[in-house]
């Protein structure tokens, strides 16, 4: 029998979790002549972790409690317990543990919410969370072996594992989601990204990456490769529809296959104050939800509804949206569900994945890093959210509070 004289264990009180900083590599096209064709995936992740440590010299490396890094295809140079291996390669002390995580497109988002939950519970003080995807080396689903029961027992439709087909299914299900709207959204994403780049709003979050090409020697990646400035509606109208003959989803309304990495630094708010670390966002709530895999793009709708309900907020309380543009039709379905206009200036002010690319497991932190920068520009906005659809029929949403918010600015 346990002794009754022993004191009760201390149960930690919930703590506020803050987003300290986020960085990413420039994104490259996933092809044989792409930016990172000769660069290892884990080296991309290492570069982001090292940059976080460099930018915050007041953080003792041994104070990092865990490193969570995501990859959708965990093999080769983005396998082997990625968080631990990247932590060691980044020069963190061997006392710092790490782990790998997978929720397909929401890998980095899940790395953030998983370690944030540990911080909020009091089990950890400081974490690094992020993701990497080298789709040029590891195409999504490469060498996967889906259980035959998925089809034999009709758990999913035969085409549910093809993300492009699920986007076509959204067009089918909702006649208001026309190709013309999707084309207009795709062109607008490119234009917004180009404007943000010209205004100096993209480069501050990028970490240069040294490149070595056996044919061309050394180089340096300093800018995103996927964007297509000058994209026009006329140019998009004639593009092929690779997922269905006579379909509506084109390369101009889809995120290109991309290589890249992103990582962020999270901390308990009191620990950030102790260490002199900046507070760029405060975590309010998060949620994940499942939907039919055949209409994967609807996932962010129920996850956002759950996250808002848990926070006691409504969609009208959200002043900035960072939505991952896996496909234009997916974002449009979210906007329609919440009564938001296609061209609402609160949505993806810097453009999105249609322009910059979507290295699957890393994109969640890109969304967060951009939202943090937009919060600093908009002290009149109190709440923002990051949301994304996830393969096999899921959605993820994280709601954040702006530490720069002032009631005076909001009243203007």
Of 105, 138, 171, 404, the active-site residue reads 105
| pLDDT band with cut points at 50, 70 and 90 for residue 11 | confident
- pLDDT tens digits, one per residue of 218-274: 999 999 999 999 999 999 999 999 999 999 999 999 999 999 999 999 999 999 999
**Residue 358 bears catalytic tag:** yes
Of 138, 358, 378, 404, the active-site residue reads 358
107: domain CATH number is 3.40.47.10
Inside any domain, residue 225: yes
- pLDDT tens digits, one per residue of 93-148: 999 999 999 999 999 999 999 999 999 999 999 999 999 999 999 988 777 888 89
Inside any domain, residue 252: yes
Inside any domain, residue 199: yes
| Degrees to nearest 5, angle at CA 399 with 393 and 402 | 155
- Residue 268 belongs to what H/E stretch? strand 258-268
Report pLDDT for 141.
76
Report pLDDT for 4.
57
- pLDDT tens digits, one per residue of 136-194: 999 887 778 888 998 889 888 888 888 999 999 999 999 999 999 999 999 999 999 99
**Residue 404 bears catalytic tag:** no
Question: DSSP secondary-structure letter at 285?
Answer: E
**Residue 389 bears catalytic tag:** yes
Q: b/e for 25-48, b at 16 or more Cβ within 10 A?
A: bbbbbbeeebbbbebbbbbbbbbb
Inside any domain, residue 44: yes
Of 171, 378, 389, 404, the active-site residue reads 389
Phi-psi region of 347 (alpha: psi -120 to 50; beta: other; left: phi over 0): beta
Inside any domain, residue 410: no
Domain ranges, residue 285: 17-138+155-400
Inside any domain, residue 405: no
Inside any domain, residue 406: no
This prediction has a pTM of 0.96
Inside any domain, residue 374: yes
Nearest partner of 35 among 270, 192, 200, 261, judged by Cα:
261
- Domain tally, the chain: 1
Task: Establish how many alpha carbons lie within 13 A of residue 389's alpha carbon, considering only the half-sphere containing its beta carbon.
Answer: 30
- Residue 23 belongs to what H/E stretch? strand 17-24
């Amino acid at each position: 029998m346990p002794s009754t004289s022993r004191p009760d264990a201390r149960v930690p009180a919930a703590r506020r979790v803050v987003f300290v900083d986020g960085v990413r590599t420039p994104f490259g096209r996933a092809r044989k002549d792409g930016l990172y064709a000769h660069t290892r995936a884990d080296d991309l992740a290492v570069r982001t972790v090292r940059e976080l440590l460099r930018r915050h010299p007041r953080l003792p490396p041994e104070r990092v409690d865990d490193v969570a890094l995501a990859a959708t295809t965990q093999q080769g140079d983005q396998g082997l317990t990625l968080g631990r291996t990247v932590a060691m390669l980044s020069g963190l002390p061997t006392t710092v543990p790490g782990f790998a995580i997978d929720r397909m497109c929401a890998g980095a988002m899940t790395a953030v919410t998983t370690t944030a939950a540990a911080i909020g519970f009091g089990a950890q003080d400081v974490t690094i969370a992020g993701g990497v995807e080298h789709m040029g080396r590891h195409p999504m689903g490469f060498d996967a072996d889906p259980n035959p029961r998925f089809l034999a027992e009709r758990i999913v439709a035969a085409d549910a594992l093809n993300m492009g087909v699920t986007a076509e299914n959204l067009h089918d299900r909702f006649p208001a989601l026309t190709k013309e709207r999707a084309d207009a959204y795709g062109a607008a994403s490119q234009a917004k990204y180009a404007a943000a780049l010209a205004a100096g709003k993209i480069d501050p979050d990028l970490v240069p990456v040294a490149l070595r090409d056996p044919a061309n020697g050394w180089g340096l990646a300093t800018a995103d490769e996927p964007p297509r400035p000058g994209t026009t509606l006329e140019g998009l109208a004639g593009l092929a529809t690779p997922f269905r003959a006579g379909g509506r989803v084109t390369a101009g309304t889809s995120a290109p296959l991309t290589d890249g990495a992103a990582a962020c630094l999270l901390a308990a708010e009191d620990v950030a104050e102790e260490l002199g670390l900046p507070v760029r966002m405060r975590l309010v709530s998060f949620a994940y939800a499942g939907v039919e895999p055949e209409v994967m793009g609807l996932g962010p709708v129920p996850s956002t509804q759950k996250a808002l309900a848990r926070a006691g907020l409504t969609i009208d309380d959200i002043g900035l949206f960072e939505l991952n543009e896996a496909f234009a039709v997916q974002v449009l379905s979210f906007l329609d569900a919440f009564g938001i206009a296609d061209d609402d200036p609160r949505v993806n002010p810097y453009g999105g994945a249609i322009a910059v690319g979507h290295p699957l497991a890393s994109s969640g932190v890109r969304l967060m890093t951009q939202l943090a920068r937009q919060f600093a520009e908009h002290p009149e906005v109190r709440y923002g959210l990051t949301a994304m659809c996830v393969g096999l029929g899921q959605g993820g949403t994280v709601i954040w509070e702006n530490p720069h918010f002032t009631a005076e600015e909001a009243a203007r």
